[in-house]
Structure 1
Amino acid sequence: MKLAPRIIQAMEILQLPMLALQERIETEMQSNPVLEMTLDEPPELEQAEPAPRETESERGEQAMVVDPEKESGDFERLAEFSDEYGGDYFVDEPTRRAAPPSGERDRKMDAMANTPAHAQSLNEYLQEQWTFVEMDEPLRPLGVLIINNIDADGYLRTPLDELRNQVDPPAPIQDLQQALAVVQTLEPTGVGARNLRECLLLQLQAEGRAGADVTLETEVVLRHLKDVEANRLPHIARRTGRSVEEIKKAIENLSHLNPRPGGLIGGREVPIVLPDITITVSDDGSVHVDMPEGNLPRLHISRAYRKMSRNRATERGARQFLQRNIRSAQWLIDAILQRRDTVRRVAEEVFKVQRDFLDEGEQALRPLPMADVANKVGVHVATVSRAVAGKYVQTPRGIYPLRMFFSGGTTTAAGQDMSWDAVKVKLKELIDNEDKSNPLNDEKLAQELQKQGIDIARRTVAKYRELANIPPMRKRREY
């Protein structure tokens, strides 16, 4: 079965998160001259005009599309959306007179000019510092070589023996060591380290705590990092001749050091989340599902270009070009409208089931398979999956991924449905409130949950604990 491009585009648009959809719209506006955005609220809206008539070949392509019982049938209603919703969100040209296509400042470029400035990368930051370092000239290119092999965390993972062979003739290992020693004096402190131990020692050295008089912190870093990771504090105390309290204080002093110094500069960007859905609760307790309109531009098809496409005085090739682009623009507008409608209907069904979450939080989440929502909305389960993918919802309790509200679950001894996410919340509460000097192992955690009516195995507790990045009992013990 071959799907028509229009159907494929609708599926793609439905699956896009908000930021990706914004980028897709910008790309379409750059490539499609007939697609424009309304920069202000028009006083009147013009009645939407139909897209140019499809050719015989395009109608044939459409006819190849669908088995109505399959998912693609969910997208066959695209043509209806322009008439039904066009005046609500996406409009044709406002009734004011359209400016000519030429001689007018390009509004598209104005709208897309406000893009974030380029963030300086770690490599750029180090190279900039390197240009001001005073050193023997033969070592300068070796420093550049080393900097180019430092990863985003700030580490030099490539052995010097391998680096020396990246220049011709191979560089003396002593020269590389000298160049590396200078690179390791650059900011951020700890950059250029070859492992965690060296990274922490470089930072201690910069603080004056790693000199000839070896401090306890330095000794812990040099000889006991694995013991720290395993929470074997009594063992470290015996080996160093110090008390457990002194070891705890040393580890506390080490905790301010940065194990990934490169992360301080550029590199990783904090992901920006734009919710597709906003959930509000009225004073009477009723739930309202809204789709924020400010996150997407209001799109329309240029009236001037539409008229040109119908004017027989327009050269035939240009007319066909405009008709193709008008049709493509209409498909995009229809697909975005259907995305909005589908996501809204899915969210409405979700919060009919998960209403208690808004009052009580994650512990009140109920089991909710996607198939149940698909049946309620009247679409294929794959359509629900696409509608949920990458979407976020703004609730009175904060912003959450929409997918979080779908999960399997169990039934408690009291007959209450409880999602596995709610079980995870119960598990975390047990661990947060346990005796830190004698924490619960997975078997005891399972027994405590069973006392609350939750039938759960030790293996499941271990799996959920690991998914929540909670360490095992041995590493949770406090001395």
Structure 2
Amino acid sequence: MAQGLQLAQRLTQSLVLSPQMQQSLALLQAPTLELKALVETELQQNPVLEEVAAPETDQSERAKTDDGEQVEAVDPTEPPADVTFDPATEKADPQTEEFLAEFEKLSQLDQEWRDHYASTNAPTRQSADEEEKRQFMFDSLVAGTSLQEVLLEQVRESGLPEDLRPIGEMLIGNIDDYGYLKANIDELSFSTNIPAVKIEEVLKVIQTFDPPGVGARDLRECLLLQLERAGDQESIEYKIIRDYMDALGKRRIPEIARGLGLEVDEVQEAIASIGRLEPRPGRAFLADNHQYILPEVFVNKVGDDFVVTTNNEQIPHLRISNTYKDLMAQSGNSSEVINYIREKIRAGKFLIKSLHQRQQTILNIAIEIVKRQREFMEKGVSLLKPMTMVQVAEAVGVHETTVSRAVSSKYMQTPQGIFEMKYFFTAGIQTASGEGLSNTSVKDMIAEMFKKEDTTKPLSDQEIVKMLQEKGIVIARRTVAKYRSELNILPSNLRKVY
């Protein structure tokens, strides 16, 4: 049979998310700061949308006369009275009639959104002084300087010969964010045809830069560079790192003491001094140090109850521009203009609805979390109860994947501090009394036990198991070992202080 290209048709069925549904899911999953960026993009792409400032929203929600008499609020989304189309006095265009019906629905939706905004946002509004302080804080933030920029500046000021500066820039380009040189000298020499001796010479210069220890190829060299910078080449600390790095990592203190001919107490003091050195010289320049958390939900205790509110201060409030409603009400527009504006209006209407639905979904989930974790809100982590997304989804009336998207990268400010919303969803351990206890609470209890242990006789995993059994918590030794590893606590033989 001859080989060749063939064209064939095949009919299949598959589930595909519509663009509107994809947009709605993206809005639900995005944190507040990302949400603002998404909305700003939509504002640029959709000319009929405009953002309403908070003061304007407040004025449109409620208006009073000078003598305090309540008057009817003006809906900013309704067309002006002088351009409203009246089918009883003029000949009605079917497209215009249909479009005005859509405006009627949109006006109702916008009013519901503003009512929701006013009711949920009122408890969290700040005074003028607090808002001024908050804005001053944001205006005072400056962009940090990267480690590479600091090192390049020091190269220019180091007096390094012009012919060696490109080598210095190449080496700095191979230093990671923690300050370590990640490239091998021989590999760099082979790829650049530069003698390894010359590269090593420039590296020695870079290792004299700030922060101390930068340009090291491993932890041992990093610590030695810091001690050399301090002039401690003859110290016990320097000898321990130079000759007994492996034993130090395994906490073999008696072995180090015998090798150096010192007392165990002297070695322990030197190790404590080593612990004060910086294992990651570039840590101060990491971008993660400049990340800020903006809570999506606030939980405040009012009397005996907990009041849950969403952070509507940062959510853009949108409406359809009156200019385009005026344009639609005018006669003589072509069908292309009407269809274009109609599509943009529908897209804007869906975006406004999606924003409202996002806030309501997050609020409903947060209320259910607080309802189930009331004891945690009052007393702390030790009383965190096991809870799954399926349980919350069933209570709220949504799918568990919706809960997962809604709590993704979202934070909740509680009386116990700020927590990621996913923090409250943990597996449970059955106690002797039949009650469920969160594994996070058990882990917190284990950490507290290790913190109070006698360092000369550290607790073993089996001893922790027995102590938990006395509290009515039955778990296996391997589970304790797993929790200890997650808490970054060494085994008992490595924690022992002689």
TM (normalized to structure 1)?
A: 0.82
Structure 2: unaligned runs, 5 residues or longer: 1-14, 62-73, 80-94, 96-105, 119-137
Out of 233, 246, 261, the position equivalent to 2:281 is 261
Match of 1:385 in 2: 404
Match of 1:72 in 2: none
Q: Say if 2:165 is the partner of 1:137.
A: no
1:235 Cα deviation from its structure 2 partner? 1.5
- C-alpha offsets along residues 12-67 of structure 1, whole Å, 9 cap, x if unaligned? 2111222222332233334433333223412124537599xxx9xxxxxxxxxxxx
Secondary structure, counterpart of 2:60 in structure 1: coil
Q: Say if 2:227 is the partner of 1:208.
A: no
Out of 206, 226, 238, the position equivalent to 2:246 is 226
Match of 2:130 in 1: none
1:415 Cα deviation from its structure 2 partner? 2.3
1:396 Cα deviation from its structure 2 partner? 0.7
Match of 1:474 in 2: 493
Contact (CA 8 Å) 1:47, 1:87: kept in 2 or not? no
Counterpart mapping for 1:387-466 below 5 A:
387-466=406-485
- C-alpha offsets along residues 246-284 of structure 1, whole Å, 9 cap, x if unaligned? 11211222223211111222543443211111111122x
Secondary structure, counterpart of 1:89 in structure 2: helix
Match of 1:17 in 2: 31
1:401 Cα deviation from its structure 2 partner? 1.1
**Separation of aligned partners in 2, 1:322 and 1:229:** 69
Match of 1:47 in 2: 75
Match of 1:84 in 2: 112
Match of 2:395 in 1: 376
Q: 1:229 to 1:34 in 2, by over 3 A?
A: farther
Q: What is the identity, as a one-letter code, of the residue corresponding to 2:370?
A: F
1:420 Cα deviation from its structure 2 partner? 1.3
Match of 2:103 in 1: none
**Separation of aligned partners in 1, 2:48 and 2:228:** 62
Task: Give the greater-gyration-radius structure (CA).
Answer: 2
Secondary structure, counterpart of 2:433 in structure 1: coil
Q: 1:234 to 1:155 in 2, by over 3 A?
A: same
- C-alpha offsets along residues 334-380 of structure 1, whole Å, 9 cap, x if unaligned? 11211110111111111111110012211111121211111111111
Q: What is the identity, as a one-letter code, of the residue corresponding to 1:219?
A: K
**Separation of aligned partners in 1, 2:194 and 2:160:** 16
Contact (CA 8 Å) 1:392, 1:401: kept in 2 or not? yes
1:115 Cα deviation from its structure 2 partner? 11
Contact (CA 8 Å) 1:390, 1:401: kept in 2 or not? yes
1:436 Cα deviation from its structure 2 partner? 1.6
Match of 2:344 in 1: 325
Q: Say if 2:153 is the partner of 1:128.
A: yes
Counterpart mapping for 1:102-121 below 5 A:
117-121=142-146
Contact (CA 8 Å) 1:309, 1:319: kept in 2 or not? yes
Q: 1:218 to 1:301 in 2, by over 3 A?
A: same
**Separation of aligned partners in 1, 2:107 and 2:361:** 15
1:79 Cα deviation from its structure 2 partner? 11
1:444 Cα deviation from its structure 2 partner? 1.5
Contact (CA 8 Å) 1:79, 1:334: kept in 2 or not? no
Contact (CA 8 Å) 2:171, 2:181: kept in 1 or not? yes
Identity across matched positions, percent: 37
Match of 1:60 in 2: none
RMSD between aligned residues: 2.6
**Separation of aligned partners in 2, 1:381 and 1:50:** 38
Match of 2:368 in 1: 349
Structure 1: unaligned runs, 5 residues or longer: 56-77, 91-112
Q: What is the identity, as a one-letter code, of the residue corresponding to 2:16?
A: K
1:237 Cα deviation from its structure 2 partner? 0.9
Match of 1:166 in 2: 191
Secondary structure, counterpart of 1:131 in structure 2: helix
**Further displaced range: 220-229 or 306-315:** 306-315
- C-alpha offsets along residues 388-446 of structure 1, whole Å, 9 cap, x if unaligned? 21111111110011111112212211222211112112212221222221111112211
Contact (CA 8 Å) 1:48, 1:83: kept in 2 or not? no
Q: Say if 2:172 is the partner of 1:147.
A: yes
Match of 2:46 in 1: 32
Counterpart mapping for 1:271-282 below 5 A:
271-282=291-302
Contact (CA 8 Å) 1:48, 1:82: kept in 2 or not? no
